[in-house]
Structure formats: structure tokens, C-alpha cells
Chain A
Amino acid sequence: MERTLFTKEMKDAGYTILIPDMCHIHFKIIKEIMHNYGYNAEILYNTGQGVVDEGLKHVHNDTCYPALLVIGQMIDALKSGKYDIHKVALLLPQTGGGCRASNYISLLRKALTAMDWGFIPIISLNFSGLEKSPGFKLTVPFIRQLLAAVVYGDLLMLLDNQVKPYEINRGDSAACVEMWVERLGRTFRENKGLSARERRAALKAIVDSFARIPMKKEKKIKVGIVGEIYVKYAPLGNNNLEDFLYEQGCEVMLGGLIDFALYCTDTPIDTINIYGGNALLKDGYRLAESYLSSLKDEMIEAVKQNSDFTPPSSFKHLKSKADGVIGTGCKMGEGWLLTAEIMELVELGYSNVICAQPFGCLPNHIVGKGMIHKIKGIAPSANIVPIDYDPGATRVNQENRIKLMLAVAQEELDGDGGDKIYDESKSGIGSEKLVMSNE
């Protein structure tokens, strides 16, 4: 199959680069950065049965649901007539791990070929040199802006999740997110905000503005979400899971995108530690990891110093949560990160966890469903429910399962349950943190 490359000329000609949405907040900021570097990026938000149908038609139905959705979304968009298909490119991330997700690009190319659209270039966003596009260069400043956007996105997502369920004036939190997405985008366009000092100031300002939102004092069920990265974040993938939980009166916590990036820089180090390999390469990854880690730490500090919000734990601590549960050599898909995130969530007081996975997701047989038994042995308060997502799974089934988990959580919250077996002392969670006060 001929690979149509994305060339410099295409970039200059202003080709529209279509990117399927995943993390709502992050991707909006990233779009601005892409524009800043001369890429005419557009995030795809098209949803509905059309997307699923295109996916079913063009992707082997036993392939993971995320592949089906993102490819369906792209084809649906291309067919919509909104874009000049001779002046459009498609972008997908590619990790090159041992999970079949590394094959999304091949599957997309196959789908395009079947549509006689082989001339549409596909850009692989990867850091491992898998596929190169001459017109798409990841320069150091570009990468730095992208990473900063990831951290800002993580912070906005974290704060929004902790404020929205408690806000007195409905919509305050969302407005605050909007405001910051716009403001950060402007900063990036002006090429500002990259020095550590500016970054810290921005992080503090973000935390401050959320801390000013008036909130009710209320006890709510705290739910953590882990899972396959796409289904975990993308509303299209998880049937608007976050909105559903919000409507059910829950507070939600999700691990940040930066953790996945950190995990991706960390696993090559472990790989070399376990199997041997180039020590220089290891140092390179260490350097990258310590940079990413410092970004995350800045964010954690900003939360800790300026508010009572619950910050995530440092990457080092997060990784240590895998100890005794799963080996950190387990590195395909979300690998040990997913297991560690469950442990971290329980520790942070989000002991009700939804493990969102595409139906038949290979790594999650291991790191998700495969570890629940062990996790419950270590942290008996963990109330975990694995939820499968695929084109045939109906909302009613998924929501029914989640409601069961919430019923158990509610009982826990009410302190009812004479014969209940949760051992609070073991999990180390105090309930005093349940009430948010930020007046």
C-alpha cells in the first residue's frame, strides 16, 4: 500500500488536519498550539450513529472499539462535505507498544484505500520514530508547548471535576474552564508562558480562580475512572460517562494525561532494566521523565499551596502503588499504570472505581479485570466495576452496572451496613476530606 506522506507543501497549502477528540479540554488547547506552529488543525466532535456505522463498515468488527470510533469519526467527517478531501490530512497518535492499538494507523489507511481515498495523508503522532511525515515536525519548542498544554489540561479537568458537583451557581465551573482554554490558547499563540516562572504563575492563577467559585458543603459519592485511554477520556467512547456520573450526583476523578506520557517515558527505562539494553538510551528517557515529572509536580504544588482541592500524587508515588500488585514490566496498553491508578484513587478517597474498557481489550484482561481480585485483597474498600464498551453494548446495561456500584457506594457513604466488611483502617482513607470548603 502506498503511503501518502504529509509534506511541507501540504502544510504550506493550509491542509486541514483532522484530529479525533479525546480529552475535551486538552485538545482544545492543543489545537491552538498547532495553529501557532502553522498547522490548520481541527478537532472532530461529530458523534451519532453515523460515526459508529462508518466504523463498523470500515474496520474489522472484532478490532477494539476505539479504532472503530476514531476511524468511523474520520470517515464520517470526510463524507460530510465540510472538508475538501483533497486538502485534508488525518492525525492519529501511535505508541508502538505491544498492544494492537499500535495498528490504528494501518487500519485507517486500509479504510481510506477501500474508499479510494488513498491520497489523503495520515500523520502519525509518535515519539518513537515509527512513521515520519516530512511536513509535520515535532520541534523542541513545539513539544514543550504540547506538554505544557497537557498539564494545563490536566489541571483544568481536575479542578472542574472537583468543583462542578458542588457549585452553587450552575455553570460557574464550566465558564471558568472556557475562560482558561481561551486565555491559555492566546498565551501560546503569543509564544508566551513557557518559562517555569510563567507556568507556575498560570497554574496558581487557574487554581485561584476555581477556588473562588462558591460551593456547597455536601457529601457526594466519589468515583474514580480508569481505563483504556480513549474510552477513559472520550465521551464518544464511554457514552458520556462523566456527565452520567455528574447527573447521578457523584464527584469524579480521572488520572491525568501527563501520567500516560510519563508512563511512556518510564517503560523503556524498565525495559532496559529488565531485559538489558543501551544505557545511553536509558539516560535519555530518564531526562525526559524528570522533565515531565517536574511539570506534574509544579501542578501538584499549585493545587496544594493554593487550595483544599485534592491533587493527584507524584508520578513516583503513583508508580510505587503498583508494588506488590503488578510488575512494572507489564507495559502494553495502559499496563501497570492502570492498576496503579486504581490503587492511587482508593488512597485519595475515590474508592469507587469504574474500569472502562473496550470489549475484549487485551491488556485490560490483565491489568484491569485481572487485578481486581488482588487489589481487593490489599484494599478491601475498593468498589470496582469493569464496564465494557462496544457498538453493541447498550447504555442501559452499562448504567445498570454503574448504578449497582453507586448503590454500594451510597451505603458506604451513609455509614449503613451492619455486616459490612470494608476495613477502613487498612485503606487509610479518612472521611473528613469528603466535604469541600472553599468559601
Chain B
Amino acid sequence: MLKIGVDVGSTTLKCVVLDESDRIVYKEYNRHYSMIVEKTAELLERVRDMFPGDREMGLAVSGSAGMGMAERVGLSFVQEVYATRIAVKRAVPEADAVIELGGEDAKILFLKGGLEVRMNGSCAGGTGAFIDQMATLLALSPSDMNEYAKKYEKIYTIASRCGVFAKSDVQPLLNQGAKKEDISASIFAAVVNQTIAGLAQGREIGGTVVYLGGPLTFMDQLRAAFDRQLGLEGICPENSLYFVAMGAALSPTVKAVDLAATVENVKKHSSTGEYRSCPPLFRDEAEYEVFRARHGAAAIPMTDNPDPKEAYLGVDAGSTTLKAVVLDENGDIIHADYMPNSGNPIPLLRDFLMKFHEKYPRVKIRASASTGYGEEITKNAFGFDMGLVETMAHFTAAKKFDPDVDFIIDIGGQDIKCFKIRGGAIDNIFLNEACSSGCGSFLQTFAGALGYSISEFAQKGIMADKPVDLGSRCTVFMNSSVKQAQKDGAGIENISAGLSISVVKNAIYKVIRAVNADSLGKNIVVQGGTFLNDAVLRAFEMELGREVVRPNIAGLMGAYGAALYAKANAPETSTTITPEGLWDFKHEISSVTCNGCTNHCRLTVNSFGGGRRFIAGNRCEKPLKTKNSGEKLDLFEYNRSLLAAYGPKDGSRGTIGIPMGLNMWELYPFWHTFFTNLGFKVVPSPSSDRSLYLSGQHTIPSDTVCFPAKLVHGHIDALLNMGVDAIFYPCMSYNFDEGLSSNHYNCPVVAYYPEVIRANVTNMGKTRFIYDYVGLHRPRDFVKSVHKILLREFGDFSLKEVRRAADAAYAEYRAHMGRIAAKGQEFLKLARERKMPVIVLCGRPYHLDPEVSHGIDKLICDLGAAVITEDSVSPLVEPFETHVLNQWTYHARLYAAAKWAAEQGNDVNVVQLVSFGCGVDAITGDEVRRITEEKGKIYTQIKIDEITNLGTVKIRLRSLFAALR
């Protein structure tokens, strides 16, 4: 009997037919464009016609999108990883491990030495879809990307957790002019890191490794990237696309069916129409017409002024699009364009300017301004007079449409920006965090995947009768929600409408977190290219239950605002590039490594001719040599210098290594003093950097834990390599009681991470790992319990000497904290003398690690402010009532610092650092915001993760400073 194996993946449909001796007699591979049932029926029909003699055939279905169909039609189903395993066992019996990347799944199978199967978690974005998304961003086809990657010279760090993160790394690289060759290879490296970090979870991948699935079959550079990282040469067997289908056909669950009858049966089941749905966007065409007429009214004149006297240029170089506007002396738009930036805005902008000068050869540009991601590069390239932060540009533009505007929401290609206006100033800014994007480019990628342009795709949803309810989560989740909806028979119209609705819900509930429409504002202006889609606009109005203003130039608002700003602030003479200059314009890119400090940033140097240059990729201002690097008031830096001063002293009793992660950033002075006094040599693990993190990532068991915790694995690995006698990293349920809270816990991760290290780092070698439960909050009990630990681990210690060491350690800890508080006051005084704004950068001790906070402290200083820390001011505050259960020591400091800052003058403001994945900060963030806003101050929160790009952070901070002015 012939056996058919069908593999219904998230994007493709694969099928094999095996004969009696399990040889492949037929195979095919097709995209299913979400018409799973129909395509499967067609496929089976083809097989039937191909083998007319075989009425009865074995059949089994596999694949993530095949489960629902198999259930409904009553076909036999095989879980896909299991199917893979069956096929590999047969085809590559010597295989030790399998790495399989699919449209949205990533899997590793360990076959030898303990069968284990790992699939990507629900947060770890799909890989095939991820590569597609990145390719779209680069304006390449995936196969072009593979070609480009062959010629790479260097690898950039790209956060690999999910597409959204990676995008915010790739986009700036593009804007800075990094080469597509390098970016392509870096994306592949990111996929490799993601797979290993997310799935290997402590198991070494070695021996014979088999690569399966579409991306690994089609892209040899992706395989090469895996080979490089794993240090081996994996094999990509024949029919690597068909292993799941083969496994299905080979599985014992294969069921004999009458194929003709089955085809009919499958056909009957196409589209059940049973999925969760939202109300339709419009009841009928008439309602849509009324809607269109209403929004048609919000228009700024776009004139063809035949003889303008003056011209003002505004440029908004966004993440995926470039917008440019020229105004005449009346403020009317005489020339404008909205174009996809294809990764490099420079040549497009040059064309735009050339065209403008052709159209109006006699008009000179009186002033110019740029904004957006590409503000700096475009400003430098074309000699624009000024730059301004995007939020200001949008506000300036929105005021033209509604002088009373009190809320602006801009959904762009890859970010959502919302802000409230109070008293004529930007008051409260919401930017989408890295996890909640799902913006315009998401719609675009989806449209592309289904074979449409974005406007076509969005328009399809207008008259959808039952839009799919996709919830309000991040891109990756939406991908699988869509998969589910497809499974349940949702058509393209309803998916399109559903995606528009989910973009809106995402903005309202994830980014703004509004409880109701009134909390947003009364006069709402919406803008950004995404709102040009009527479906999105309608969904927004429906969700809010309120009519909003969409300007006719919704996509150009940033550029329009910049032009208005340029007009209002026009200089005596403009430095804007002349038409002659445009003819001579050049753009050359080279990369160099900066040796200014130990960061060794990879710099991209753009030269534009005429001595104009732009350097990107730097983490500090050093390579730019523009600003004098005078003394900065940075308490983060001071705190780090304090810790660095605790150097190792020789000791006779051996070497103790302390991993510099999590709470050790605060307790190092304590443990250093304690063990040094006892006669140990105490050494910290080296400074965190990317390679230290990567060296430990294969032992991380939970890929959704916060980045500071993941980093600990690298520190442990480093200490093991240093060959210390013992690593001391105790579990601590409790922290010091600072009298600010009802209890004084550590968070569960800080408290018990040593347990995770013990359970997952298996190669400790001769190094002892001491991770006992210890409490510093009860000094007398501490001495007794630590004495027992020392006796057990190292033999003879008298209780007396332990007590003496402990006394010294407590004293040192107090002195250390005192130094921080005193320096904080000193900086505050200096800042006030110098009339500098002061930022209380609130976080946790481990945010001091520059690899965790990515130099945000320095960035704030570069923007001209002083930085002090939450623990430097929290001792100044009396205990007070909070609205949340206040029982964690570190978090109590946040509330206290917020209260202190709220009671200071306008020069002191809070910026809270929140690590992505920190569950407790979901609570502290809201409470710190409440305390801050209660006193009429602006709350700013910055979410940090592995990401290394500071673009968004800068927008936030610049907007904050702009609002304070």
C-alpha cells in the first residue's frame, strides 16, 4: 500500500508519497496562503490522479497548522517533532541532534544520550517568518540575503529574541549606513544565537547534527552560521524539506483510507467560520462613505504655488519610510513625498531635493530641519540647520489641525508614539516597548506573506463581515493567533480586518493602557502612515467610541512639523546644501573599530564629500570629539568606580570568586571585606560584555527570565575559567531591612538564582559552588550560620574570627551605601549650582552594569543632565503608605526615591529603568508613575533588554527634556 504523509506548516504545505519499500515516489512543496483545507484537498486530488490504481492508501497528517484540520476531518495526526524523529531515525540513523527551523517554529531534537525535544517558547519568535521579516526590512528576497551574507566582513550584535527586538537593532544599522552584506550575516548569526540560547538550555549540541526545514535547506549561509557557532559541520540531507511529511507517512499511526472519499470529506470541511470575531468595521457601504467624507475635511492645502518666495524644508527619516515636505512662506505645502526608505534614506533625499530645485529653480531654502531615526545622518549629510525630537515635530504639526489637541497618537512603520499634551507642553509619552510593536510594518509583512501590498491588504478588511479577534499582544503572538484563525477557516478579509483591529488594541491596551476613551483626551489627532488605512482608523474610533481627527497628510506629519519648526526658528543664513552641492554629493561608508575605551565599538563612518561626516555605532561621544568630555555628574559611574576599588588582596586560604550579577552589584563590598578578613583572596568575575554573555547562554534554562539573570551564567562561566577555588553565590530570600517597607524580600529571581546556576551549570570541575541560604538581615544569626558553612567547606574557623570579619563587612557595607548617598547629595548641589537638570535614574543595583543599562546613564549626561541613583536618595525619605504591597527592599527604594523626586523642584525628575521580563516591575512601574504624577511631574520609564540600540531611549529622554523646558 502507498503511504501519504502531509505536513501542514504555518506557511507551507508539504507532501510525500512512499511506496511499499518506503521510497519516495512523489513529493511536493507549496505555500498554502492560509487556505489549508482547500489546498490539502487539491493536493490529495493530485495524488489520487497520480496513482489512479491505488484506491486505498495510508495517510497521516502532521504540522502545527494541520492539527485542527486533522481533528475535524478525522484524519490520523502525528505531532510534527515526533514525525521528524521517526524520519531522522530512518534516514540518518547516526544523527545525534537535529536542528529544524520552520516558518514559525524552531526545534532541536537530541537523539542520543537521553531523548529530548525542544520547541521554541511562545515568546521566541518564528525563525522563517523572522528571516522573511528581516529580508523585507532590507528590501531583499531571502535568497538575496543569503547571497549577500556570503560576502560579509563583520558581524553586528543583533538581539535575537524576537523579530521586534531584532528590528530595532537592524533599522538603526541601516540608517547608519551599515552594509547589507554584514547585516545579512548578522541576522543569520542572531538566528543561531536565538536557537541555541532558547532551545539548547544547558545541553551541548555536538556529534552528527542534521539541519532540516525550509530556511536551513534554502540558505547555505544560515547553515554556515550554525556550523561556525557550533564548531562542527552539520549535514543537510536530501529531502530535508520533507522530513516531517516522511515521518508522518512512516509513523505507526498512519491509517488506510479510501483516497477519493477522503478528498470529498476534506472538501466538505473547508471553512467552518468558527473563530472568535469582532463586530464588522462598517455595516454597509453607505456608512463607509459618511466616514470617508468626514475625514476628508481635515486637510492642509497642497498648492502648486507658481511663484513661492521662500521655502522651508522638513524631513522625517523614519524607520521604514522617508517623509519630506517643503513649505512656502504661507505655510502651504508646495512639494512633498512619502517613500519607503529601502534601508538608506540618503539617495532618496538627494533625489527629492534635486526634484524640488528642478521644479522651483529660483527658490532658496531658507531653513531646514530633520527628525526621526535618521535625524542625525540626514542632518549631517545635507547640512540641515537643525534637528528636533520626533515628538516635538508631531506636536507642532498636530496643533495646525487642532489647536486644542490634547492627545496625539502616531502609528508608524515600526513604532507607536503617543503623547498627552497638558498646558501646551508634551506631558506624558508612551512609546511601544520592544515587545509590543505590531505596528505598520507588521501589517506590511503580513500583507507581503499573503501576497498583497499593504494598502490592498488593509482595504480588503473594510467590508469584512466577521473580523478575527486576535487579541492585543505582540507580533509573535499574533502570528500564532492568525494561524489558529486560519485553521478555523477565517478568510483573508476577516484576517485583514482582525489585524487592523489588533494593531489598534495593541496601541490602546498595551502601549497606552487606557481604561477608557476619556482618559486619553478629548481632542485626539491620529497620524502616521498606518492610519492612512481606513480600516485601522475605523477600528481606532470604534475601540475608543469617539471621533478623532486624521489629517490628510497623516503620513507626513513628522516632516510637516519639522518644516513648521524650521520656519519658526529660521536662522540668518541656512547651511542647507545648495543645488550645486547636490551635484557633487557623495556617500561613502567605511567601518572601523573605535579604540577609545574597552567597549571597542564598531563604528560606521559615513563621508558625504565636502568634509561632512557622520559616525554611528558609538556608545559614547568620545569618537565624535565634538563635545568636551568634561567632568560628568554620573552617580552610576561613581558607584562603579567604588566597586572597582575593591581589588583582590592575597590570601592564604584560597581564592573566592564572586559573580558580578544581580544583587552582587550591591553586596560586593560586604562579601569582599568579609572573605578578605578571613584570609581569602577575593576576585570578582570580569566586566560583562557580549562574549561573556554568549559563553554562558547555553546553560540558561528559561529564555523569558530577565536579562540581568541570564547574564549571571556568563559570569559563572568566566569564574570557572579563571580557576577559582570556590564560587560564593548565596541564596537570599531576604535583603537588608531599610525600614521603608512592610517586609524586606528580594524578588524570587534575585533570591534563588543560585539554585538555577547549581541545577544547570554541570561542568563545575574542581571549583566548589557555595550557594547556601544566607540572611544578612539578622547579623547575629548570620555569623552562626555562615560559620557552619565555612567549617563545612574550609575546615578550622573560629566563631570569633568569623564574627570579626562579619563586623567589618557590615561596617564596610554601611560605609559604601553612605558614600553613595553623600556623593548623590554632592552631585545634586553641583547640578543646582550649574543649573543642570537632575535625573534620578531609578532601577536596581545591577542596572549599574553597562551591559545591562547600555550606557543610559552616560546618554543622560551627554544630554546635559546629572544622574543620581534611587539608593542615594531613598534614605532621605520617611516610611509612607503606598498603594501596593510594599515588601521588597529594592522596590521600596523606588517608591521612596519617586516620592523624594516628586517633592523637589522642576529640575529633578525620575527616569525608571525596567528590565524586560521583570514581573515585579509591572507593579512598581505603575506605582512609581502614580507617585510621580500625583505631584504633577512627568514619569519616564525605559525598558531595557539585550538590545544595544539607544535610539528609542534617546527620543524619550529628549522629549522629556524638551517638555521640561
Q: Which residues of A contact B (CB under 8 A)?
A: 1, 49, 52, 56-58, 60-64, 96, 98-100, 102-103, 105-107, 109-110, 114-115, 130, 271, 274-277, 325-327, 329-333, 359-367, 369-374, 376, 380, 388, 390-401, 403-404, 406-408, 416-417, 419-421
Answer whether A421 and B82 are a contact pair too, CB < 8 Å, given A107-B923, A276-B781, A395-B484.
Answer: no
Q: Shortest Cβ distance from B305 into chain A, in angstroms?
A: 48
- Taking a contact as CB atoms closer than 8 A, the residue among A370, A394, A419 that contacts B760 in the complex is A370
- Which residues of B sit under 8 angstroms from A277, Cβ to Cβ? 778, 781
- Please indicate the chain A residues that have their CB under 8 angstroms from the CB of B114 in the complex: 376, 380, 421
Q: Is B695 on the interface with A (CB-CB < 8 A)? A: no
CA gap between A421 and B79 in the complex, in Å: 20
Contact status A366-B79, CB under 8 Å: no
Q: Which residues of B contact A331 (CB under 8 A)?
A: 733
List B contacts of A325 (CB < 8 A): 759
With A102-B885, A360-B704 known as contacts, the answer to whether A400 contacts B743 (CB < 8 A) is: no
Q: What residues on A are CB-neighbors of B777 within 8 Å?
A: 275
How distant is B83 from chain A, measured CB to nearest CB, in Å? Answer: 9
B733 engages A61 (CB within 8 Å): no
Q: Cα distance A325–B116 when bound, in Å?
A: 20
- Least CB distance from A76 to B in Å reads 15
Q: Is the CB of B701 within 8 A of A373?
A: yes
Q: Are A369 and B784 in contact (CB under 8 A)?
A: no
Do the beta carbons of B920 and A330 come within 8 Å of each other?
no
Q: Which residue of B has the minimal Cβ distance to A333? A: B748
CB-defined contacts of B487 to chain A, threshold 8 Å: 396
Q: Which residues of B contact A391 (CB under 8 A)?
A: 471-473
CB of B585 closer than 8 Å to a CB of A: no
A57 touches B702 (CB 8 A): no
Residues on A with C-beta less than 8 A from B294 are none
Q: How far is the CA of A407 from the CA of B755 in the complex (A)?
A: 31
Q: Are A332 and B885 in contact (CB-based, < 8 A)?
A: no
Interface residue B179 (Cβ < 8 Å from any Cβ of A): no
Residue contact B917 to A360, C-beta cutoff 8 Å: yes
Provide the bound-state CA to CA distance between A52 and B505, in Å. 13
B752 contacts across to A, CB distance below 8 A: 330, 332, 363, 366-367
Residues of A within 8 A of B480 (CB): 393-394, 396-397
Shortest Cβ distance from residue A37 to the other chain B in the assembled complex, whole angstroms: 27
Is B879 part of the binding interface, using a Cβ–Cβ cutoff of 8 Å? no
Interface centre among B472, B709, B748, B781 (most CB of A within 10 A): B748
Contacts of A360 in B (CB 8 A): 704, 917, 919
Please indicate the chain A residues that have their CB under 8 angstroms from the CB of B760 in the complex.
Answer: 370, 373-374
Other 9 A-B pairs with CB < 8 A, given A392-B474, A400-B64: A98-B733, A98-B745, A98-B747, A100-B747, A329-B733, A362-B749, A392-B472, A401-B119, A408-B115
B471 contacts across to A, CB distance below 8 A: 52, 391-392
* Contact residues in A for B515 (Cβ distance below 8 Å): 57-58, 114-115
Report B-chain residues with C-beta under 8 Å of the C-beta of A401: 119
Task: Select which of B67, B276, B747 is within 8 A of A400 by beta carbon.
Answer: B67
Cα–Cα, bound, A330→B756 (Å): 11
Tell me the smallest distance from the CB of B743 to a CB of chain A, in Å. Answer: 7
Closest chain-A Cβ to B160's Cβ sits at a distance in Å of: 18
Residues in A whose Cβ lies below 8 Å from that of B78: 407
Docked CA distance A110–B884 (Å): 9
Q: Which of A365, A372, A388 contacts B705 (CB 8 A)?
A: A365
Q: Mark B903-944, 1 if CB is under 8 A from A, else 0.
A: 000000000000001011111011000000000000000000
Question: A223–B753 Cα gap in the complex (Å)?
Answer: 28
Cβ of A64 and Cβ of B733 under 8 Å apart? no
Chain B residue with minimal CB distance to A406? Answer: B79
> Is B68 in the interface zone, CB < 8 Å from A?
yes
Q: Determine the residue in chain B with the shortest Cβ distance to A380.
A: B114
- A376 vs B734: C-alpha distance in the bound complex, in angstroms? 30
Given A105-B885, A276-B781, A394-B483: A365 touches B923 (CB 8 Å cut-off): no
User: Which residues of the partner chain A approach B208 to less than 8 Å between Cβ atoms?
Assistant: none
Contact in complex: B201, A373 (CB < 8 Å): yes
Which residue of B is nearest A325, CB measured? B759
B780 within 8 A of A: yes
Which residues on A sit within 8 Å (CB–CB) of B202? Answer: 373
Interchain CA distance A77-B395 in the complex, whole Å = 40
Cβ–Cβ < 8 Å partners of B772 in chain A: 327
Q: Are B67 and A403 in contact (CB under 8 A)?
A: yes
Using a Cβ–Cβ cut-off of 8 Å, how many residues does chain B contribute to the interface with A? 86
- Complex Cα distance, B117 from A114, in Å, reads 46
Nearest residue (CB) in A for B916 is A62
- Determine whether B288 belongs to the interface, using a CB cutoff of 8 Å to chain A: no
**Which residues of B line the A interface, CB within 8 A?**
64, 67-68, 78-82, 89, 111-117, 119, 121-123, 201-203, 252, 276, 469, 471-474, 477-478, 480-481, 483-484, 487, 509-510, 513, 515, 701-702, 704-705, 709, 731, 733-734, 743, 745-749, 751-753, 755-756, 758-760, 762, 772-773, 775, 777-778, 780-781, 784-785, 883-885, 887-888, 917, 919-923, 925-926
Query: Could you tell me if A399 and B67 are in contact, using CB atoms closer than 8 angstroms?
Result: yes
Asked if A98 and B888 sit within 8 Å, CB to CB, the answer is: yes
Given A330-B752, A365-B756, A403-B79, check contact A396 B920 (CB 8 Å): no
Nearest to A374 among chain B residues (CB) is: B759
Distance from A185 Cβ to chain B, minimum over Cβ atoms (Å): 34
Asked if A363 and B883 sit within 8 Å, CB to CB, the answer is no
Nearest first, the 10 A-B pairs at minimum CB distance are A276-B781, A392-B473, A392-B477, A275-B775, A329-B773, A98-B745, A62-B922, A374-B759, A407-B82, A369-B702
Q: How far is the CA of A348 from the CA of B484 in the complex (A)?
A: 36
Beta-carbon contact of A56 and B64 below 8 Å: no
B485 shortest CB reach to chain A, Å: 9
Q: Which of A52, A275, A327 has the most CB of B within 10 A?
A: A275
CB distance from A85 to the nearest CB of B (A): 17
A396 to B920 CA separation, bound complex (whole angstroms):
29
21 inter-chain pairs at a CB distance below 8 angstroms, sorted by A residue, are A63-B922, A63-B923, A98-B745, A100-B920, A103-B884, A274-B785, A275-B734, A275-B773, A275-B778, A361-B919, A362-B747, A362-B748, A366-B748, A366-B755, A367-B752, A374-B760, A391-B472, A396-B64, A397-B480, A408-B117, A420-B115
The answer on a CB contact under 8 Å between B748 and A363 is: yes
> Cβ of B749 and Cβ of A366 under 8 Å apart?
yes
- Bound: A392/B78 CA distance, A: 25
Let me know if A419 and B473 touch, CB within 8 A: no
Known: A330-B752, A404-B79. A57 touches B509 (CB 8 A): yes
Known A373-B760, A404-B82; judge A330-B755 contact (CB<8 A): yes
- Bound form: Cα–Cα A201–B474 in Å: 54
B483 touching A327, Cβ below 8 Å: no
Task: Give the residues in chain A near B89, CB-CB below 8 Å.
Answer: 419
Which residues in B have their C-beta under 8 angstroms from that of A398? Answer: 122
Q: Enumerate chain B residues within 8 angstroms of A399, measured Cβ to Cβ.
A: 67
- Which residues on A sit within 8 Å (CB–CB) of B513? 60-61
Contacts of A397 in B (CB 8 A): 64, 122, 480
In the bound complex, how far is the Cα of B515 from the Cα of A419, in angstroms? Answer: 56
